[in-house]
Amino acid sequence: MVERKEGLDFFTAIRRRRSIREFTGEKIPDEDIERIIDTARYAPSPENFQNVRYILIRKDQDLKRTIADISQEASGELFGSAPYELTQGRLWYMPESRRPATFKDMRDGSLFRYPEKSDSLIVCCASESYHDSPLIYPNEYFGSVTLGMAIQSMWTAASTLGYGVGYQAFPVMEPRRAEYICDEIGIPRLWKPISVLCIGVPIKPLRMVGPSRWPLEGFFFEERWGNPYLRIAFRK
């Protein structure tokens, strides 16, 4: 079991957050996992419906391996027939020397086997039929939006504690596979698995510098579309 680390401050954790796909397989203290998953309860939802649920998987290694198998198979189907020359633009943020090897791992699916080495898998589920939400909110994405905010909370909490997190949609993005996952872990049909969050001890220290991001002015406009946000440092 890893020793508990001193946590990062919130804003540092946000900036250092990375998608981690390599874990040591070490056990994380139960107290840390509970602190991480408890943050999901406080995510906002329309009229406090709380129309999200989670399945925490830690002990069932066979199930972790099955989810890794599904992820690898799905990745192979998605990327396996795509020529590198037509898809290398997906990896624009990566040094060019690393792209061929990474794309090979995407094509054979090995890049997405990390659920089996995670300490914890969290199958994240949402419902559009829970309570009376379809009558009030016909938008079918409310459950997913609520879930996204909860995932961000858990991810930031894990990063704050020094753990790595990887996001997986492959196990549930195709209906046949999603149905299989539902049957394996008993998810009722009114609930839909949206994603799988993988939490573990990263093999490598979290990188200080990650893929480049658009500047703030590229993300935010002021008052009207096309009017770039002006940073305080550049205001007169």
H or E stretch including 104?
A: helix 99-108
Q: Please tell me the distance from the alpha carbon of residue 149 to that of residue 43, in angstroms, as a whole number.
A: 6
Q: Please tell me the distance from the alpha carbon of residue 218 to that of residue 226, in angstroms, as a whole number.
A: 9
Average pLDDT over residues 136-149: 73
- Whether residue 134 is predicted with pLDDT greater than 60 in this model: the reply is no
Give the mean pLDDT of the chain: 85
Q: Tens digit of pLDDT for each residue in 67-105?
A: 999 999 998 888 877 776 666 667 777 777 877 788 888
- Whether residue 55 is predicted with pLDDT greater than 70 in this model: the reply is yes
- Whether residue 54 is predicted with pLDDT greater than 80 in this model: the reply is yes
Rg (CA), the chain: 19
- Whether residue 4 is predicted with pLDDT greater than 60 in this model: the reply is no
- Higher pLDDT residue, 92 or 225? 225
Q: Please tell me the distance from the alpha carbon of residue 150 to that of residue 163, in angstroms, as a whole number.
A: 17
Q: Please tell me the distance from the alpha carbon of residue 91 to that of residue 97, in angstroms, as a whole number.
A: 11
Lowest mean pLDDT, pick from 100-109, 129-138, 187-196: 129-138
CB-based contact 119:58 (threshold 8 Å): yes
Where are the domains positioned within the chain? Answer: 10-234
Fold of 10-234: NADH Oxidase (3.40.109)
Q: Tens digit of pLDDT for each residue in 194-224?
A: 999 999 999 876 655 566 778 888 899 999 9
CB-based contact 142:224 (threshold 8 Å): no
In the block, which residue shows the tokens 């898998």?
A: 121
